[in-house]
Every structure is written in structure tokens, then in C-alpha cells.
Amino acid sequence: MPKRKDFLALVLIVLPWTLLITFWHQRAGNPLLPVLKVNRTGASKSHQRSFRLHESCIIKNKHITEVTRIKYVHSHSPPWSDALPTLHVITPTYSRPVQKAELTRLTNTLLHVPKLHWLVVEDAAQRTAMVSRLLENTGMNYTHLNVETPPNLKVLKKPRNARIPRGTMQRNLALRWLRENINSRSGHKGVVYFADDDNTYSLELFEEMRWTLKASVWPVAFVGGLRYESPKINSQGKVFGWRTVFDPHRPFAIDMAGFAVNLQLILSKPQAYFKLKGVKGGYQESSLLQDLVTLSDLEPKASNCTKVLVWHTRTERPLLVNEGKKGFTNASVEV
């Protein structure tokens, strides 16, 4: 009998202490204490304590917001909370005198577009300070990548199909980034668009492409030696051909700026990339699209392809004749 009593006593002693230790452990492991309700009755001491906790709460929340932002800027998926599909705009860019100007005015356009994620891919061995600073100052959702096209493949002396069309490796890198950073099962709705840094885009265009189910198409001005090129639409509202003069029999006789693809389609076909070599002039777009969609899948936008909402403008190369051999102007001033 004494043994039983002792045993009972032991249990009754140990039990509350184990419970206590467990609770304290849990509390220690939980740094985020919620905001206390104002009407809580309690000792004045605990009330003061709760006020302090409230402050640390806010600070910690701010911290979390900031951390998320930084993480996002350095290539992590942005948070999805809105119903609006995200526009992933891929812009390859390379260093030349007008680069900063081009990116500046493109930024001024893109800043008007909601729920846009800008992927800027530099054709450079390293991300340049100029582009980094420019992107940071925009306040936009962006991802800054870089990949250098091997110089021997850029050289004009090589025959056409040995050269890689400009921007190909950069666009492919952006596609790879999307595939590696966005989970196709996360239910994320998005559309991918390739926007070169010297074209001109109307704001209407972005809202047209936002609701792309598979791939959408529209006219583009100043390509193919015409006022505009456009898909041919039949009475059922389906694409059946291409209104172009230059090789209208290409599988997709359309400019890079003339189509957008649903993100899920990109993610579900991970082998689809722009072909690097052996691509005839004008077939670059087809090299990607033929792995993704057929002609009948295409959705015509811009009022059944009757309005021009994007212009393939090209900026003149400035004649820096007065710079001379040594450079007349101060090299430290960024242009």
C-alpha cells in the first residue's frame, strides 16, 4: 500500500510540471504573438506586457513584408492574392547608347499596367549596375536575369543560320526561370508576352492579352515591310492564315510582339523553347509556337485582329561622330 501511495504521489507531482514545461516550450517556439484585444481584463502588468507585444508584432509584420519583397526581387514567385491573371512580360535587352532611354520609356508605359511581372534579361556576362538601379527605382514587380550570347555566335560574318537571332538565349532563360519558379499546380493564372525594348505598346494591348486561354494573336505595325501584318480571321472567328507578304506560309507568320501564351501552357510543355540554331529568318516565333499550339487554338484579339495596338518601332542608332577616339564626354556620366 505505501508503494501505491508513493507512486500516486510521484505521478501527481510530475504531471503538472510536465504540462507546464510543454506549454512553455510551445510559447517559446512561437515568436509571433497576436494583437491583444483591447477589452481584455487582466492585471495591469499583463496589460502593459500586451502593449509591448503589440509593438513587436507590428515590427515583425513589417519585417516580413520587407523580406518577402526582397525575396521576390531576387527571383522568387510573387504572392498571388488577386483574381487578375498576371502578365509576365519578358524583355531581352543589351548594352548600347540608347539602352537606358529605351528602358526608361518602356518603364513609363509598363507602370500603368496592373498585375505585371517584368522579366528583364540582359545579354551580358553580369547584371549591369545601370539596369539594376533603373529596375529598383521603378517600384515594379520585376526579375532581373542575365545570360551572355557567346560572341562568336553574334558575329555577322557567319552565315545567317549559324547566328543565333538576337534575344533568343535571353528569352529562353526567362522561360526557364518561369518553369523553375512557378509551380504549375499552384493555380497561378498568368500570361507570357515577349516585349522587345524598342517597340511601342498601347495600354489596351495588355488588357487584351490578359485573358488568353491558350495563345492569342493580334496585328503588329511596321513589320514585314508593311504598314501592319495581321492574322487572317474567318467568319467563325478562327485564324486560318496570315496577311503578310514575307513568307505567309510559315507555320506562324507573326512577329514576336504579336502573340501571347498562357502560362499554364508554357509550364505544361517544358520542352518548348525558341530554337537556337538553324532558324531561317522569320521562323523564330514558329520555332516556339509550333510546340505549344496549333492554328485552331489561336484566339484573335484587338477586335478580331482589326486594330493595331502595338508598333514595331526601331530607334535610330545615334551618330556619335563628335566623341572621337578618346571620348569627348565625361565617361562617368551615365547615359
Partner 1 sequence: MRMRLKLKTVFVMYFMVSLLGLIYALMQLGQRCDCRDHDMSKDQQISHLQTELRKLQEHVKTSELKKTDVPRIYVITPTYARLVQKAELTRLSHTFLHVPQLHWIVVEDSPHPTSLVTDFLAASGLTYTHLHKLTPKDRKLQEGDPSWLKPRGAEQRNEGLRWLREMGAAAEGKEAAALEEAVVYFADDDNTYSLQLFEEMRYTYRVSVWPVGLVGGMKFERPVVEDGKVVRFHTGWRPNRPFPIDMAGFAVSLRSVMTNPEARFDGDAQMGFLESSFLQHLVTMDDLEPKADLCTKVLVWHTRTEKPKMKREDALQKQGLGSDPDVEV
Given a contact cutoff of 8 angstroms between Cβ atoms, the answer to whether 118 and 106 are in contact is no
Is residue 248 a known part of a binding site? no
Angle of helix 129-138 relative to helix 99-110, nearest 10 degrees, comes to 20
Site size toward partner 1 (CB under 8 A) is 75
Of 48, 68, 183, 304, the one binding partner 1 by CB under 8 A: 68
CA distance 35 to 81: 23
- Residue 133 in grid coordinates: 538601379
**C-beta closer to partner 1: residue 100 or 166:** 100
Pairing of strands 215-217, 141-146: unpaired
Residue 307 interacts with partner 1 (CB under 8 A): yes or no: yes
Q: How far is the CB of 206 from partner 1 (least distance, A)?
A: 11
Of 271, 319, 325, 326, the one binding partner 1 by CB under 8 A: 319
> Site residues for partner 1, window 246-275 (CB under 8 A)?
246
CA distance 159 to 163: 7
Residue 304 interacts with partner 1 (CB under 8 A): yes or no: no
The secondary structure element, H or E, covering residue 197 is none
> Site residues for partner 1, window 169-228 (CB under 8 A)?
200-203, 219, 221-222, 224-228
Of 9, 59, 155, 162, the one binding partner 1 by CB under 8 A: 9
Kindly indicate which of the ranges 232-240, 250-258, 287-295, 303-311 contains the residues binding partner 1, using the contact rule CB under 8 A: 303-311
Q: How far is the CB of 273 from partner 1 (least distance, A)?
A: 30
The secondary structure element, H or E, covering residue 118 is strand 116-122
Catalytic residue, chosen from 122, 208, 285, 299, is 285
Given a contact cutoff of 8 angstroms between Cβ atoms, the answer to whether 247 and 331 are in contact is no
Catalytic residue status for 285: yes
**C-beta closer to partner 1: residue 151 or 187:** 187
Q: How far is the CB of 31 from partner 1 (least distance, A)?
A: 11
Is residue 291 a known part of a binding site? no
Work out the number of other CB atoms within 10 angstroms of the CB of residue 249. Answer: 8
> Site residues for partner 1, window 72-101 (CB under 8 A)?
79, 81-82, 97-98, 100-101
Pairing of strands 190-194, 86-93: parallel
Residue 277 interacts with partner 1 (CB under 8 A): yes or no: no
Is residue 104 a known part of a binding site? no
Given a contact cutoff of 8 angstroms between Cβ atoms, the answer to whether 207 and 241 are in contact is no
DSSP 232-258: EE-TTS-EEEEE-SS-TTSTT---GGG
Residue 290 interacts with partner 1 (CB under 8 A): yes or no: no
| Binding-site annotation: residue ranges for Mn(2+) | 198
Catalytic residues: 285
